Structure formats: C-alpha cells, structure tokens
C-alpha cells in the first residue's frame, strides 16, 4: 500500500516537473521572441534617426515578414518616409507614399481590433499613425484635417493608456496634445476657432509627459526628445533646456542633419557663436562629402550664414563676405513667395562689411536692397541708419 502511494506520488512529481519544464521552455521562448522583437524594432528606430534609410528599410521589411500580425513593422516602415520629409520639408514628393503607408497601418490595426478591441499594439499604432498623418497635414497647413486627426487619435491613445497604464510611450501623445492645444491658439490666433472643439490643454503637464517619455520611453524616447528640443527653442525660449536635448540627440545620431542644425541654432541663440560655427563647419564638411540629408540647398545656406557670422565677429571680413554672398545666392534660389531672413540679413551684413572696408558705394547698394525687401526684425531701420551714417 505504502509503496503504491509513493509510486503515485513519484509519478505526480515527475509529471509536475515535466509540466513545469515545458511551461518554462515556452515562457523562455516567448521572452526570447519578445526580446528579439523589441531589439529589432529599436535597432530599426536608431537606423531611421541615424539617417540610414536603406538599412532601416531592410530591418522593418524583415520585421513585417517575421511578425506579420504586429503593426510595428509597417508603422516604422512609414517613419522612414516621414524623416525623408523632415530633411526636405519643401519637397512634397514623399507625401502621398507616406499617407498610403499610414493607411496600411490603420487598416491592419482595424482588422486586429475587430478581432480583439483591447489589442494594445493595434490601439497604440493606430493612434500613432493618425497622429503622424495629422502632423504632416499641419506641416502643409491643412489645419482642419490636422485637427480632425488630433480629435480622432486622442481617444484611441486614451484607451491604450487605460488598458496598459504602465505603457510609457503612450504619454508621448498626451504630452504633444496637452502642450500644443494650450500653446498654439495664442501663437496662431487663426486656430482659435478650431481649438474650441478640443478638450483644454495643459502646458506644464505636456512638458512633464514628454520629459517622462524622453527618460523612460521604449520606442518613443527619441521622438519625445525631438519635441522637447523644438518646444524649448521655438516656444519657451529656454535655450539651456533646448541645448540639453539637442546634445542628447546629436550625440546619439551625429549624422542626422536636423539634430546637428538644431544644436547649431541653439548655440547661436545662446550667444555661443563660436560653438555654433564649429557645428556648421561640420555641416559644410558633410555637405561637401554628400552625406545623406546634408546636400539640400537650405542646409548649406544655413551653414554658410552662421560660419559667415562668426568670421565677421572675428574681423575676418574677406572670409565673411564670401560666405554671406554664398548664403544670399542660395537664398535667391530657395526663396519663393518672399525674401527669407537669411537673404535680408546677408545683404545687411554685406553692406556693413563694405562700409568697414571703405567701399561706400557698394555698401549703399546693399542697404538699398534691404529697403526693397520686407521688414525682418529691425532690418529696415538699420539699413536707413547706415545709409545716413556709414557703419563703423
């Protein structure tokens, strides 16, 4: 009797151990697959921000093939085109393909949500796809459609956050929404009627959410840093905070022309003109070597301007003149509807350099060109002043 009992117990223990080992095996497989999936996604994201588009395409095509039922591959595959747009915003040739790729993400997410309305991945990436569609529409000043996308995306992201409150990345959407809904109506009064249909924003909460994602985000931390850099520079005029995030991004992705130029601009606004010029010399070097994203005319124009500015501060007027002239000539090719600040300031500084070089007739010519253009900051008053009294 006792031996039979012990034999039964032995079998039960063996079965339990076997069951445990089988369960552990499958759990470890799942963990390994999840780790491999996350690792692949993060590698591809870094390739996108690093402007390594062919490598990113290969990565996300392989992810789509390996995980056809997960929308991340299609979403980040679309982000490659988003960054092509960011690098050359005036070039609209990527818009249609970007919209098409986002639509595929949305359709796949809808299919997944039909089967399971609580699919976190589907909610997250559907909200993200609609959000990015809205960002491009805002970029193209299609405000009503952009606002519609914002209203559509917000409840989707809210649902994802409710189902998965530990998901840090969903805070990106909340941060963007809270900040811009609070700020944009004052900066762009024409948007006030549209914003009446949105729940109120909270600027402080928006920044707090973005800072949290910038620290702890799984997939969205670089995008959060990008937004914070832009917000602190363009809206808050907190250039020290802007510099912090620009340095992070430029350190992680030194060959991303957008991040490098932002850092150079921020240095310039801080009065760190020497550091700014060093950044833009590097931009010119990469332009000359045809690095991806560095060969566009606006990139070279900006670099020419800040390098010229530093040469002028150092009293190297001949060198400054060369780069200001290059900046002006590029501006003539780029400027369409009206003159840019780059062109106006280049002519103003060229006039001042001509005066300092005792070339009064040339200086008068440049000042008159400035007066023929729109007002940029105090360009008109300075040109008039130097026409009356030569710059010294």
Indicate the Cα dihedral angle 282, 284, 290, 295, nearest 10°: 120
User: What does the H/E/C string look like for 110-124?
Assistant: HHHHHHCCCCHHHHH
Residue 256: alpha-carbon gap to chain centroid:
10
**Which tens digit of pLDDT belongs to each residue from 269-283?**
999 999 999 999 999
DSSP string, 321-354: HHHHHHHHHHHHHH--SS--HHHHHHHHHHHHHH
Name the band, by pLDDT with cuts 50, 70 and 90, for residue 203.
very high
What mean pLDDT do residues 39-48 have?
95
**Res. 8 pLDDT band, cuts 50 70 90:** low
Averaged over 229-258, what is the pLDDT? Answer: 97
Rounded Cα–Cα distance for residues 155 and 157 (Å): 5
Taken as a whole, the chain contains a residue count of 392
Alpha carbons 374 and 360: distance in angstroms, whole number: 23
pLDDT tens per residue across span 158-191: 999 999 999 999 999 999 999 998 998 888 887 7
Q: How far apart are CA 49 and CA 286, in angstroms?
A: 17
DSSP summary character for residue 189: G
- Between CA 223 and CA 104 the distance in angstroms is 22
Q: What is the pLDDT of residue 376?
A: 95
- Position 31 pLDDT exceeds 90: no
- Domain boundaries in the chain? 296-392
Q: What is the pLDDT of residue 253?
A: 98
Confidence at residue 6, expressed as pLDDT on a 0 to 100 scale = 44
**147-165 mean pLDDT:** 93
The 10s digit of each residue's pLDDT in 78-103 is: 999 999 999 999 999 999 999 999 99
Instruction: Single out the residue of 336, 307, 375, 267 nearest to residue 89, CA to CA.
Output: 336
**Mean pLDDT confidence for 287-314:** 98
Mean pLDDT of 98-111: 98
* Cβ-Cβ contacts under 8 Å for 262 (sequence gap 6 or more): 229, 230, 233, 242, 246, 249, 250
Local structure of 289: helix, strand or coil = coil
C-alpha distance across the termini of the chain, in Å: 113
- Using 50, 70 and 90 to split pLDDT, how confident is the model at 229? very high
| pLDDT mean across residues, the chain | 91
Position 2 confidence tier, pLDDT thresholds 50, 70, 90: low
The domain defined by 296-392 folds into 1.25.40
Is residue 17's pLDDT more than 60? no
Please report the pLDDT score of residue 121 as a whole number: 94
Q: DSSP alpha helices (H): ranges in 116-169?
A: 120-139, 143-163
pLDDT of residue 199: 80
């Amino acid at each position: 009797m006792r031996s039979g009992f012990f034999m039964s117990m032995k079998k039960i223990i063996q079965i339990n151990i076997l069951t445990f080992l089988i369960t552990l095996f499958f759990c470890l497989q799942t963990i390994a697959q999840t780790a491999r999936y996350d690792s692949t996604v993060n590698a591809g994201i870094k390739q996108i921000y690093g402007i390594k588009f062919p490598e990113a395409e290969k990565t996300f095509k392989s992810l789509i093939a390996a995980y056809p039922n997960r929308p991340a591959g299609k979403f980040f595959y679309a982000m490659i085109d988003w960054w092509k747009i960011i690098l050359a915003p005036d070039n609209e040739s990527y818009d249609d393909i970007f919209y098409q790729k986002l639509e595929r993400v949305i359709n796949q997410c809808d299919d997944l949500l039909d089967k399971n309305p609580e699919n976190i991945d589907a909610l997250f990436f559907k909200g993200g796809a609609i959000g990015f569609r809205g960002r491009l529409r805002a970029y193209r000043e299609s405000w009503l459609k952009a606002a519609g996308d914002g209203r559509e995306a917000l409840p989707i992201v809210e649902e994802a956050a409710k189902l998965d409150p530990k998901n840090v990345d969903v805070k990106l959407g909340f941060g963007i929404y809270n900040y811009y809904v609070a700020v944009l109506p004052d900066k762009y009064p024409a948007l006030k009627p549209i914003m009446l249909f949105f729940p109120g924003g909270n600027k402080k909460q928006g920044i707090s959410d973005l800072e949290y994602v910038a620290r702890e985000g799984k997939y969205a931390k670089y995008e959060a840093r990008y937004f914070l850099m832009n917000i602190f520079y363009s809206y808050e005029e907190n250039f020290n905070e802007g510099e912090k995030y620009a340095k992070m991004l430029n350190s992680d992705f030194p060959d991303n022309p957008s991040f490098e130029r932002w850092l150079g601009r921020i240095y310039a606004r801080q009065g760190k003109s020497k550091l700014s010029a060093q950044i833009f010399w590097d931009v010119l070097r990469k332009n000359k070597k045809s690095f991806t994203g560095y060969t566009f005319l606006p990139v070279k124009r900006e670099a020419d301007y800040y390098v010229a500015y530093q040469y002028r501060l150092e009293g190297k007027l001949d060198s400054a003149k060369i780069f200001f002239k290059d900046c002006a000539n590029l501006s003539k090719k780029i400027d369409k509807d009206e003159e840019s600040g780059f062109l106006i300031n280049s002519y103003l500084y060229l006039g001042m350099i001509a005066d300092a070089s005792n070339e009064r007739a040339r200086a008068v010519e440049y000042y008159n060109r400035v007066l023929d253009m729109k007002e940029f900051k105090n360009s008109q008053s300075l040109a008039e002043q130097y026409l009356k009294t030569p710059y010294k």
